[in-house]
């Protein structure tokens, strides 16, 4: 069990290890579930149920933490975009406190005002910029989303901004 704990801690310490984090959590849950099941019952069906329950709980925990990371990124982009006029460009960046994904940065512009007054909303175009390394040139990926004002804050308003970017989880 200590080897599983070590693997899980190592996956958390590594930036951009979302896949390793997910697999490590589920594997650790499966091993822990099997250990608990062997102490609780000798019935194979009950032991299987315990193991599947542990894996499902671990998967839900991983998905929750990924949603938190994505929400923080979206809030960072919305905060940079909110005060901009149409056509203005501003930088955005995010430094994740829970390093399951790389810190990111880019630019954001407002392409149009969707509505103003009681419901302020804007359509934005943002980039995710990758710095050049010795192995690859600098690059940018571009995405379109909507942001709306919520009191003094601007919030992400797109239901699914880009499946390729966020995957099945927003």
State the pLDDT at residue 29: 52
**In angstroms, rounded to a whole number, what is the distance separating the alpha carbons of residues 6 and 24?**
10
* Mean pLDDT, residues 131-146 taken together: 92
Question: In this predicted model, which residue has the larger pLDDT, 132 or 63?
Answer: 132
* Mean pLDDT, residues 91-118 taken together: 90
Report pLDDT digits (tens) over 76-93: 999 999 999 999 999 999
Give the structural domain span for 121: 1-170
For residue 111, pLDDT beyond 90 = yes
**In angstroms, rounded to a whole number, what is the distance separating the alpha carbons of residues 90 and 87?**
10
State the pLDDT at residue 149: 93
Average pLDDT, the chain: 76
Question: Structural domain tally of the chain?
Answer: 1
**What phi, psi does 114 have (nearest 5°)?**
-80, -45
Cβ neighbours of residue 44 closer than 8 Å, sequence gap 6 or more: none
Structural contact between residues 124 and 147, judged by C-beta atoms closer than 8 angstroms: yes
Out of 41-55, 63-77, 118-132, least confident range: 41-55
Out of 32-41, 70-79, 147-156, least confident range: 32-41
State the pLDDT at residue 61: 74
Predicted TM-score (pTM) of this structure: 0.65
**In angstroms, rounded to a whole number, what is the distance separating the alpha carbons of residues 66 and 56?**
15
Report pLDDT digits (tens) over 1-49: 433 333 444 444 444 455 545 555 555 555 555 555 556 666 666 666 7
What share of the chain has pLDDT > 70, as a percent? 63
Order of strands across the sheet with 89-94? 89-94, 104-115, 121-130, 139-150, 153-156
């Amino acid at each position: 069990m200590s080897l599983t704990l070590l693997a899980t801690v190592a996956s958390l310490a590594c930036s951009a290890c979302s896949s390793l984090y997910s697999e490590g959590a589920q594997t650790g849950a499966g091993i822990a579930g099997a250990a608990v099941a062997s102490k609780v019952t000798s019935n194979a069906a009950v032991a299987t149920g315990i193991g599947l329950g542990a894996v499902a709980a671990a998967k839900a925990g991983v998905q929750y933490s990924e949603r938190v990371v994505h929400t923080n990124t979206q809030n960072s982009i919305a905060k940079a975009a909110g005060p901009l006029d149409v056509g203005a460009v501003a930088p955005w960046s995010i430094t994740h406190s829970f390093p399951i994904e790389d810190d990111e940065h880019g630019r954001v512009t407002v392409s149009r005002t969707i509505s103003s007054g009681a419901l302020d909303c804007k359509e934005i175009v943002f980039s995710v910029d990758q710095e050049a390394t010795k192995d690859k040139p600098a690059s940018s990926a571009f995405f379109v989303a909507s942001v709306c004002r919520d009191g003094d804050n601007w919030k992400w308003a797109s239901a699914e901004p880009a499946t390729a970017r966020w995957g099945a989880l927003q």
